[in-house]
Structure 1
């Protein structure tokens, strides 16, 4: 197993938006990375029966993503992520499968308190084991995070640490898959996790750095 350094992947993370149909989607939009690709986007689709598909743009990023997570299927796609205002994320995935979803998110009082705490924590403390434990406990106290950890390992055993500068909470969502309406926002129907990364009861949106073990050798 690699023992590479933790390097920052900067952007937006939404670890799980679930719908009444039982489908869940996951968004990672990195605008700065330590890899040869300056930016890339991932959309994960989890079906009601537990199947997982990675959609990635550009497709060349798939090899990097698969170092950290295992999927049943991997597909290149054209992915557009739009932020029409501060409270909306709009995602379109075009290819063999067409997926569209909108998420409304807000800086709720609890999300505001969490963001303030994370930003006030000194870097050396936040990056310690105690800091990670306190951050995880605070996250799960303030938000319905289902045990989501701010630091841990992915499902392939790679280390990660999340250092957001802003956290918001999803309040509404809609989606279609190949033209089929997936219904409204709903909690996951069963526990869903990729290592220490858990799908929360309500979507948690983080803006900032996700540190991942890199390079992988």
Structure 2
């Protein structure tokens, strides 16, 4: 998804959420049981103007955050909790409009390489058009968020992803995508070992009200 992910509260209005601009690819699941989440923010309302996050979730649900700007760590930890936080060099390349290549080199020695192919499928185009046509006042209402989340789940393999909610640290968030695509192929290696093919979610994972895999009962 490319667009805004509104999370930071402004000082002038405690109810308004200020935008983080960039793209995110939530919940890339592999046959090995590893999950990868990519978040690149090109503009933020914080003291850190831009940074890249990579979340790596192991088969036994250990969540590691890799981040290329150490000063962004306190910002990120306002919204999510991690089992480990690692400073890293993160190289992201977009060789064409439908390919993302990411190389992570953590200070702990971890090496993660990933390539994802994503496409604006017909359903993704329809959903993108619907979201763009929705008045902002409606989209930002509680009812609008419920409808958008339900529509997202019906149209795309969203794996429980919610448009709006509360994170695992109790912070509200709202996602306002400008463009939606669907991942169709992916490959990755972790410390030289292949993680297998892109796979359907094998288990639920939750970050507050943000679920991956399937809703937890």
**Fold similarity call, TM over 0.5:** yes
State the shift of 1:84 in Å: 0.9
State the distance in 2 between where 1:13 and 1:19 align: 17
Q: Do the aligned partners of residues 42 and 156 (structure 1) sit closer, same or farther apart at CA in structure 2, a change above 3 Å counting?
A: same
Q: Do the aligned partners of residues 4 and 42 (structure 1) sit closer, same or farther apart at CA in structure 2, a change above 3 Å counting?
A: farther
Please state if 1:103 is matched with 2:116.
Answer: yes
Residue matched to 1:183: 196
State the shift of 1:188 in Å: 1.8
- For 1:131, which of 144, 148, 163 is the aligned residue? 144
Higher RCO (C-alpha under 8 Å, 6+ residues apart): 1
SS of structure 2 residue aligned to 1:124:
helix
State the shift of 1:147 in Å: 2.4
State the distance in 2 between where 1:79 and 1:153 align: 28
Please state if 1:22 is matched with 2:33.
Answer: yes
State the distance in 2 between where 1:187 and 1:47 align: 15
Please state if 1:59 is matched with 2:70.
Answer: yes
Tell whether the 8 Å contact from 1:15 to 1:200 is kept in structure 2 after alignment: no
State the shift of 1:4 in Å: 6.1
Matched residues, number: 200
Tell whether the 8 Å contact from 1:145 to 1:198 is kept in structure 2 after alignment: no
For the aligned residue pairs, the C-alpha RMSD in angstroms reads: 1.3
User: Structure 2 unaligned runs (5+)?
Assistant: 1-8
Residue matched to 1:50: 61
TM-score between both structures, scaled by the size of structure 2: 0.89
| Runs of 4+ more than 3 Å apart | 2-5
State the shift of 1:40 in Å: 0.4
- For 2:92, which of 67, 78, 81 is the aligned residue? 81
Residue matched to 1:164: 177
Tell whether the 8 Å contact from 2:203 to 2:213 is kept in structure 1 after alignment: no
State the distance in 2 between where 1:53 and 1:117 align: 35
User: Structure 1 unaligned runs (5+)?
Assistant: 202-217
State the distance in 1 between where 2:213 and 2:126 align: 18
Residue matched to 1:213: none
